[in-house]
Structure formats: C-alpha cells, structure tokens
A and B are shown apart, each in its own frame.
Chain A
Amino acid sequence: MMHYLLIASKSGNIQFSHYFTYITPSSRTPIEARVITKCLGAEKDACHFLEDGDHTLIFRWFGPCLFIVAADHTENEIMIYEFLSLYVGALHRYFGKFSERHVLLNIDRLHMVLEEMVVGGELVESSIRNALTPIQVLDTVSSR
C-alpha cells in the first residue's frame, strides 16, 4: 500500500503532495523535508529504494522533478517504480507535453489524474486511456 506521493523540485521545495493515509498537517512538513533531503542526497546511479522508518521510499527523477512514493515494506519496489513511470506517462498524455510548468500550475489536475489511478493507496487502473477518459469527458462538458 502506498502512503503518499510527493513531487519536489531540484532545490528541495515541495511542489505537489498527495496523501493516501491521513497524517496530521503539522507533521507533514518535517516528514516531507526529511524524505526529500534523503532522496536528493542519493547519487545519479545509486539505488532508488531507501528506507525511512517502516516505509520504503521509491524515488525517480523526471527531468527537473523528483517523484517520491512511500510504501510498505511488503510492496514490490520495482512495480512502484514502474507505476511512477505510468503516472508520468498519463500526465504526458493528458497535458500533451508534460513539463515542470504543468506541475506548478495545474495541481488540481494532478490530483484528479492520480485519483483516477490510485485510490486509498492501491492501484486501481493500469491503463492510461481508461484512467484519462472520465477526466477528458468532464473537461469537454464543463468547457461547453
């Protein structure tokens, strides 16, 4: 089960966070800071799986953005690594050409796409097309 997903910039600022299990807002900031520092400290070709307490951290760089997922120890780490790739692929398809700017300015869309794919920490939809269809439908309806 995944616990949270963060997107951070190269300088360590948090740009997007989605929590699948509830953590009090006051304790979110130190957790995020600690986790981001750990992941930023890893080298280019080092192992992308780190440990943080009883969660495993899986992180991946996509351009200038660092995506971090915290999951239980029982999860298949490589699978979550691939899931990050799937998520970014979905965003790519949705926005046309996904870049850091989109992360900054379209946070609500990021939440929605993520919610279509993962609910309560478990993967729900593995097909990008199926995940994006509802959102695209709603976009066309609301823009009319």
Chain B
Amino acid sequence: MSSIKQVINDAVEKVRQPNPIRLRDLIRQIRSAKTAAEERAVVNRECAYIRLTFREEDSVWRCRNVAKLLYIHMLGYPAHFGQMECLKLIASPRFTDKRIGYLGAMLLLDERQDVHLLITNSLKNDLNSSTQFVQGLALCTLGAIASPEMSRDLAGEVERLLKSSNAYIRKKAAVCALRIICRVPELMEMYLPATRSLLSEKNHGVLITGVTLITEMCRQSPDMLAHFKKIVPNLVRILKNLIMAGYSPEHDVQGVSDPFLQVKILKLLRILGCGDSEASETMNDILAQVATNTESSKNVGNAILYETVLSIMDIKSESGLRVLAINILGRFLLNADKNIRYVALNTLLRVVHADNSAVQRHRSTILECLKDADISIRRRAMELCFALINGNNIRTMMKELLTFLEKAEPEFKASCSSKCVLAAEKYSPNVRWHIDTLLKVVEAAGNHVPDDVVSSTIQLISETRTEQAYAVGELWRHLSIAQMEYQPMIQVATWCIGEFGDLLLSGHADVTVVESELIDIYQKILWSSQCSITTKEYALTSLMKLSARLTHEIGSIQQVVSAFGSHLNIELQQRGIEYSQLFTRHNHMRGPLLERMPPFEGTRAGTEQDKATITNGVDTPLDNESLLNDLTSPNNNAHETSESNALLDLLGGMEPGDSDTIKSTSTSISLTVASTPSVNADILDLLGGLDSGPAASVPTTNMNEAPPTQLPNSSNAAYLLDGLLNNSTPIISSPSSPVTNSAGTIPTSNSIYPLVLQKSSIPGITAYDKNGIRLDMAFELQETLITINLIASNNTGAQVTDFLFQAAVPKVPLRMRIKLSWLANGSPVQDQGEISNFPSALWQ
C-alpha cells in the first residue's frame, strides 16, 4: 500500500517538475523568440528555474543546467550565480561533469575573485589523476586561467607532467608551462631542463608546443636566448625533414606538410638569429631552401613564405638572401589576393628603412595600391609611399599623393597632408614647385589640415621675394572660386592678398583684378556664416593692410571695418574698433604701420626635425616659459629647438657654417613687440644704436598675438636671452646710455617694468668690463627660480651699434660662457669669455 502511494507520489512529482530541458531545446526556444522582450522572458524564466535547482543541490542535472547557464552567459546575461556550481561540478567524479565544470570555470571565473583559489585544490587532484583525459582537462584549464598564485602552487606539478611519457600530456603541459611563465617569469628556470628533450620529439603536437615554449622563454630573457642559441642546428634539421619528407596524411594541409610547425620554427629561428651573425650563417641555407621550394599558389605556402621573409629581414643574412626576400614581397604585391598584398605592404614598410633601393624597384606597384578599393591596403600604401620619397622621384610621387589626398577619408587627410608638407620641405626641387605643392595640399585637404601647414605656407611665401607675385595670383584664383567652408585655404589666401595686394593690382601676378572685386570677396568672407572666427580675423587684418595698398576703395574698407566694431565676438569687435581708430585718429600712422612685413625667420614644419634651429616667436607662449626654465634647470633639454648653433658654438660645438639655417646673426638686441613693424623699427634703431636718444617706452608684449606675429631683426641672442635672463626694462636716457637687454618676459604682460636693480640679498657682480663695455648682473632668488638682471653699459663715449650678447650655460655648476660683438665707430669688435664668479648663494 505504502509503496503504491510512493510510486504515485513520484509520478505526480515528475509531472509537476519535469526534467530540466536540454540545452539544445533552450537554444531553440531562445532563437524562436521574435522580439528581444520575448527572449528576455524566456531567459529569465530559465534562469529562475536554474537558480531554484541550484539551491536544491540537485546533482543529477547540475551538468545540464550549468551548460545552459554558459549559453545564457554568452548571450550577455549575468550568470555569476553559477560560479559555485562550477566548483561542485569540478569536484564531481564524473567526467562529463568535470568537463562542463572546467569549461564554466574558464568562462565565468575571474581571477580577481576568491572563488578562483578554490579550484586550485581540485586542479591539483586532477593533475595527479590516473586518467590522461582528466589530466589533460586540468592542464587545459590551468593554461587558460592561471593566476600568479595558482601558477606558483601548481608549477611543480606541471613540471612533472612535462616529463611524462604520454605525448598527449606532454603537449598540454608545455603550453601550460608557457602560460605559467607568462604570469610568473621567475619560474622560468624550473622548466629549462625539461625543454631540452622537447625538441627531439616525433610528435608534432609536442614539437609545436615545445617550440612555442622556447620562443616565449627567449623573448622574455636574454640569458635564455643565449642559452638556446645552440639548438639552432636542431631546428634546422627538423625544418629540413619537414620539407624533404614525403606526404604524411595527418599533417598535410593543401599539399604542405605541417605548415603550422614550419612557421613556428621559422619564428624561433628569427629570434635566435637576430643580431647574431654566427647563428644567422647556420640558417642561411635552410631559409633559402624554404624560400625557393615552397609553393606559393596555395595560401599556406604564402604564409610560410611570409614568415621566411620576416626572418630573413631580421637576421644578419647575406645580401643575396635579402634580395630574394624583397623579390618575394614584390611577387606578393602583384598577387590578386588582397590579404597577401596587405601583408606585403606591411612587411615592406618595416624593411624600407634598411633596404631603400631594393624597395624602390616596386614603387610603381605601390603607387597603384594607393588607388585600391580596400582601405587597409590604401593606408599601408600611403605610409610606404612617404617612406620611399627621395629627391629624384618627388615630382611623380607628389602628384600621385595629391590625387590620393583629394579622395582620402578624413582620418587620412590630416596625417597625409602633414607628411606631404614634410616631404615637400625636404625634397622640393625649386621654390615655385614647393609653393604650388603647399597650395595644392591646403586645397585638397580641405578642413583637415593640421595647423602648422597654414603657417608653413605663409612663411614660405613671405620668404621668397621672387615668387610672391605668382603665389598671390594663384591664391586669388582659388579664392574667387573657393567654397567658404574650407578655412585653411581662405586663411592663407587672405593673408597673402593682404600682404601683397599691390602686386595683385598692378598686374605682376598675371591676373587682372579690379579693386571692387577684391572688396566684394572680402565682404563675402566676412559675412559668411561658414567662415570661422579665425578666418574672419585673418580677413579683417588683411583688409586693413589692403587699405594701405588700394587707392580707390578706402572708404568702403573703412565702412566694413567700422561695422565690425559692434560684432558679437569680442576679438573681432576689438579689432574692428582699433582698426577704425587707424582711419580716424591715427590716420597718419596707418600707412607706415601697414607696410609690408619682413620675411619670417625660424622653423617651418619640416626643418624642425632635421636642423637644430631656433624657434620663432610664432610659436606659443609656452616656448617662452620653457626657455625661462632653462635658467633654473640648465639640464633641461626639453626644448631642443631653443638651442641654436651659436649656443653650440659657444660650448665648443660645431662651426657656424655647418648649418645653413642660422637665420640672421643680426645685430640688434631684439624686443618682442606686437605687429606694428614701423614702430618697431624706430625703437630698434634706438636700441641698436645705443644712442642717448629720447627714451621711448618699450612695450614688451605677448609673443603670440593672432598669428602670425613677426620678429623683425630677431637674433639668436634674443632667445638665448629669453632663456637665460629674465628682465625687461626700458631705455633710460643718460649720458652713458645704459641699455638693458630686453627679453621676452612673462609673456602675458603688456606693461613696462621700470628699471629697478632690486636690492636683494645676493650681491651683484660685474660680469665683464673690457673695451669700454661693461656688464653688470644683479640676482634675485625666489625659491628655486633665479632671476638675473643684466645691464650693459657703453663707456667708450663713442657710438656703439649692433651690440650682440650671446650666452650659454652648460650643465652644472653654474657658470656662463659669453660672446660679445659690436661695432665701435664702425669697426667690429668681438670677445668671448666665461663668467664663473657667480655668488655661491645662488645655488643653495
């Protein structure tokens, strides 16, 4: 009776709680869900059911439930409640349970959690199990999720298994050891003896993993690398057997026997031979053999050839072999398969610096790749083209690159245009071509031009007197048809037209322009909603300059400018108002104020890297700060370009004649001033002559107004002074006319500092007193910043002009080497010296 009741109960139970559905049924259910909400409902229902069964500790179906949980987890739903269940599965004796348990552990467990450590014990037991499959399973999991603690615990077990007689186990143990070494590099020595025997295997699986293990060891530690150099002959032998051996069905892939092993061996040979000529010699033959015998009609063959080429290029191979490698790459380039072409371009990029001439032969193919439909190939081809440019092929290359630039995607345009500018800078055959190219770059790149291209273009045009007419004519042509949305072009064009408008109007530029056309275009730019504020700033300033060049339309210019006096943007409003003043109150100054600017000096985009030049004031105020810092930390070479050749000269460096980029070693001590050239001229005359003329306050201003500012007659001295001396004082008229060297000071100030030799606790020194010139220095120390005020006095009683003071401060201790030169009564005087009598209080 009771047993019948039992049976009935069981049956009822079974109907009420059926077996959990199988994984594939769950998958079917989820996939048949039509909407995301439906899918979520199915998943949530199943998750709830699984959670219930986990709570009930049902070990029969645990395996199935965890499998379902893993699937749900893959879809992206949270599954962390299954982690403990995985552990229970791992501990179970049944193999199917263990399998799912370890899989779950691999996919769900995070090594940052504590649950992770609980597996360690199970792993240890399983590693010692008698079944090879259980051991293999444990090794697999350990290889996948080894954390540093686990690695340390189980490293010994893995090492023991590495010497096991079972190839299946050895294979997995080797990869496990690999992962352990990656996590805990100190354990590397433990595995060293076992690896010796790994290479004398017949089993390819063990060979592959052994080679990978050795590769990783060599990569991590140079000692290991040296140790393993002696296995090169073994590797060569294995590779030879692979190639020579006949067909082996289990390792054959598309006619090549075990390409995976071949590639691994080639990689290891590369690491072993890199930089070592002896090892490289041993490999030469086999590499040549592989390169010539491998069939390139199949993809696997190409994979092997690719690896061979990489190896040949990295080791110290003989030149014949290198030529062979480049030829293989050339063949790859012509392959129809895009993958192969991509790989070839990639590799050529790596070798082009070493073997430029060999790669040049394939230039035309590379240029073809620029037009390929595939974006990866185009990108690689572009980089490669830039690496191949030299003086001979610059014209053809640039033509292709400009076509490429026009059609390129925006992310390419910026880098392509700046590289074009660099290349043009280095290799342009003549100036007109250079200007043409820069203009084309600005036009083709639209709005994606980096900022330095605009200033480089402007600088180039302002430097070359002869081409200015041509340039401005071209720019006018572009401007009259230009779209208002491409700012850089408009900026360059307006600047040039403003500067050289007279050339345009007088017909020098081969275009006929009427003044009213000019004004129309300017009005269009200034009122266009598409032009940026910076462009309008350019346009407004250039319009003002035109007012000094044009004859008829001055009235309309004045109207336009004064209209801007009520613009919403502060900068434009300020300009509008100030420029309007130039028409009304200061009309007499307008002409000389707006004269042609002298050419810029200083770096352009390309010259910076190659030649050590000084930076122009065009750059940001930050330059000044860093130059100032140079005083306090003379070791600070962060701003390399601030060291001029003259500096090096002082320090006993190179001849001044070496570099042709020393811009004027001009005469006067410069000032930094705003863009008012004619005012500058007066002041500089004043200073340069060291006359006891009427004192004029020298406005020392921010070096970086709206671009571009200029530094008339800037000398090398200025920047040295900027760095080393920190004062700004005006001229004070007095019989002996002491003149202070002004410098670009704390740039934001527009004020004038009165001459104050501040009373400071540190005594001043007389640095130099000879030939009638005397240099006095006064020091101030604020925490770690030393400020030196220098006063140079002319005691000769005669006029001294073209006074130049240059100083260099080598590292420590604090001393200064100086070089002075001036014209006394027309005859040049020069002197050098060293100042070492700085008070010791300075470097406390």
Contact = CB atoms under 8 A, between A and B. Distances in A.
A51 to B, nearest CB: 8
B208 interface: yes
Interface in A43-83: 43, 45-51, 76-79, 81-83
Contacts of B251: 126-127
Contact of A78 (B74, B171, B303): B303
Interface in B126-179: 133, 136, 139-140, 143-145, 168, 171-172, 175-176, 178-179
Residue among B176, B303, B306 facing the most chain A CB atoms (10 A cut-off): B303
Interface string A125-136: 111111000100
B342 A49 contact: yes
Contact of A25 (B67, B73, B259): B73
Nearest to B107: A19
B313 interface: no
B107 A120 contact: no
Interface stretch (B23-31, B385-393, B638-646): B23-31
A41 B78 CA distance: 29
A125 B263 CA distance: 14
Contacts of B28: 105
Contacts of B67: 108
B411 interface: no
A28 B76 contact: yes
B377 interface: yes
B71 A124 contact: no
Most chain B beta-carbon neighbours within 10 Å: one of A104, A111, A124: A124
Contacts of A22: 110-111, 145
B260 A104 contact: no
Contact of B99 (A17, A45, A112): A112
A45 B338 contact: yes
B299 interface: yes
B74 A14 contact: yes
B103 A76 contact: no
A76 B175 contact: no
Contacts of B339: 47-49, 77-78, 81
B678 interface: no
Nearest to B219: A74
Contacts of B75: 14
Given A47-B338, A47-B341, A82 B73 contact: no
Contact of A126 (B24, B204, B303, B373): B204
B209 A122 contact: yes
B723 to A, nearest CB: 40
A20 interface: yes
B652 to A, nearest CB: 45
A78 B175 contact: no
B253 A82 contact: yes
A17 B717 CA distance: 66
Contacts of B310: 76
B250 A127 contact: yes
B342 A47 contact: yes
Contacts of A138: 95, 133
B338 A122 contact: no
B212 interface: yes
A18 B251 CA distance: 25
B67 to A, nearest CB: 6
B282 to A, nearest CB: 22
Interface in B17-35: 23-24, 27-28, 31
Contacts of A83: 260
B376 A47 contact: yes
A134 B303 contact: no
A87 B108 CA distance: 24
Given A20-B144, A78-B302, A119-B143, A104 B205 contact: no
A78 B338 contact: no
A120 B74 contact: no
A108 B139 CA distance: 18
Contacts of B27: 104-105, 107
A76 to B, nearest CB: 5
B303 A124 contact: no
12 contacts: A25-B73, A45-B338, A46-B374, A47-B377, A82-B303, A105-B24, A108-B100, A112-B103, A122-B175, A124-B209, A129-B250, A130-B250
Interface of A: 14, 16-20, 22, 24-25, 28-29, 43, 45-51, 76-79, 81-83, 86, 104-108, 111-112, 115, 119-120, 122-130, 134, 137-138, 141-142
Given A111-B103, A127-B250, 16 more contacts: A25-B78, A47-B338, A47-B377, A78-B299, A78-B306, A79-B259, A79-B307, A83-B260, A86-B253, A107-B71, A107-B74, A120-B143, A120-B144, A124-B171, A126-B253, A142-B96
